[in-house]
Amino acid sequence: MQANTRSIYMLPYYIWIVLFVIAPVVLVGYYSFFDVDGNLTLQNYRTFFTPTYLQMTISSFWYAFLVTLFSLLVAYPAAYLLTRTKHRQLWILLIILPTWINLLLKTYAFIGIFGTYGPINALLGTLGFGEQQLLFNAPSFVFVSVYIFIPFMILPIYNALEEMNPTLVSAARDLGASGWVTFRRVILPLTMAGVKSGCMAVFIPSLSLFMITRLIAGNKVITLGTAIEQHFLVTQDWGMGSTVAVVLIIAMAVIMILSGGFGKEVRHD
Amino acid sequence: MTNKNGWGNLYLVFVFALLYAPILYLMYYSFNSAGNMHEFEGFTWEWYGEVFQDTRLIIIVINTLVIALLSSTIATMIGIIGALAIDRIRRRRLKDTVLSLNNVLIVSPDVIIGASFLILFTMIGIKLGFASVLISHIAFSIPITVLMILPRLQEMSPSLIDAARDLGASRRDVLSKVILPFIKPGIFAGFFMAFTYSLDDFAVTFFVTGNGYSTLSVEIYSRARQGVALSINALSTLIFLFTVMLVVGYYMINRRATNKPRREEPIAVGGPR
């Protein structure tokens, strides 16, 4: 009796789970079996397994991989060096601050920076390379995405480095390990959890960043996200859009399972 | 790492320069009288004037703030309930399941959230516009508020509640006089994160906004697609200053709330939105 009256308070939260977590996934799955005219069909999946869509999927994953890799390469040393600074709190705050600036504004800035008359082109001009078309291609897309994601990669790695016991590093050094060996055998394994969550925080969103592809890459890069947006808002083919979404959801779930599940960050007891 | 101060600091300077260059670049040209983002001709307030005279833009800013305040308030309330609900579950498996369900919207790509909410609203028959945007902002903010509140709840010693009950407190008293005050820092952090999530969101809003209703991100997107307009630069400068104020305010509240040197606060960042 008591337990019952108490659970009523919990109702709004469970309603939220049903309505906004479970139902949307089910609906996307359901819609993926309908064509534009509302007929039940498997055609969308057949369409998906044609070269056009498969190629798009592969390139989407390839770009996401590149973005993740470059973010990691920039972020790891930065995170490491940040743990050595004085006033660490302040520096970390300064890393976080840009993440609170609207994504679109930062992307918009690059339209100016990479533009025909922008500073990069001016620099290339003075160096004698002449004017280049920097916007509307794949490298500019990768660069801007990496720029956007760097903080999201730095923070988990920084947290992992902070949690590491520094005496382990000293011990390794005392036992005669070189700097590189210490890094590879001690520091990297101990911070792998941070690297993993950083990679997840970058990889999954980069599969779906349709606004950057639209603003920066012209239509040179089409990600799964771009395809979903296109089908839902431009061609109104919700069925095909849902099919692409289902593929993205499955890919995401596989990545999650491979990297050891989610929801782990929250302590249990 | 003998030379760490030299090369290391240089590298950090490079990373910080990279992070801030685009933002400063935008701000710098917001004062450019030439009206473009490459040749600085002279100083002007013209674009700021344009922002403040643009009634449509001001309405959109107000819309955005109203949505952010309403959605984060409601999301925080449901988030408190959610955290209490999860904390109460004793069975480990069930708890893991609910937690995983809680986190689905945090890890999902925005396009999928947007697309699936669009389907949901169309099926239920909710008109696209203010209501759909508000509801989706509440929906995607709830999990983060739960995640900010739950650790505080788990830190709380159960004997505190037992003591209160022994001293004759009713369940309502226990909640309002013991639990809520204890988890207050988590509630504030959750509210703040939900607020910034809502302000920043583009992709989800873009899907569920329909015609005629717009938030700042959606508006910036459509203006940016038309090319460079320095009123966007002026606007972004204003937003940047506002953000800095928010962040400073948040850290002040946080510092006051956690006076004792606890383990460093887990740094809260949402996914890029």
pLDDT of residue B259: 53
pLDDT of residue B258: 57
Q: Which residue has the tokens 């709004």?
A: A12
pLDDT category at B66 given cuts 50, 70, 90 is very high
pLDDT category at B121 given cuts 50, 70, 90 is very high
Q: Is the pLDDT of residue B146 over 90?
A: yes
Instruction: Flag whether residue B170 sits within 8 Å of chain A, measured between CB atoms.
Output: no
The DSSP string of B146-167 is HHHHHHHHHHS-HHHHHHHHHT
- ipTM rounded to 2 decimals: 0.82
Q: Which residue has the tokens 């009523």?
A: A8
Nearest CA in chain A to B207: A233
The answer to whether A32 and A104 are in contact (CB under 8 A) is: no
The answer to whether A56 and A227 are in contact (CB under 8 A) is: yes
pLDDT of residue B5: 67
* Longest alpha-carbon distance in chain A: 82
**Beta carbons of A155 and B224 less than 8 Å apart:** no
Maximum mean pLDDT: which of A73-77, A109-113, B180-184, B241-245: A73-77
**Beta carbons of B20 and A98 less than 8 Å apart:** yes
**Beta carbons of A215 and B225 less than 8 Å apart:** yes
**Beta carbons of A242 and B115 less than 8 Å apart:** yes
Taking one residue from A and the other from B, the number of pairs with CB-CB distance under 8 angstroms is 256
**Shortest alpha-carbon distance between residue A40 and chain B (Å):** 17
For chain B, report the end-to-end CA distance as a whole number of angstroms.
37
The answer to whether B36 and A117 are in contact (CB under 8 A) is: yes
pTM comes to: 0.84
10-residue block means of pLDDT along chain A (269 residues)? Answer: 61 91 92 82 83 87 92 91 83 83 83 74 72 73 90 90 84 82 84 87 85 78 85 86 90 80 41
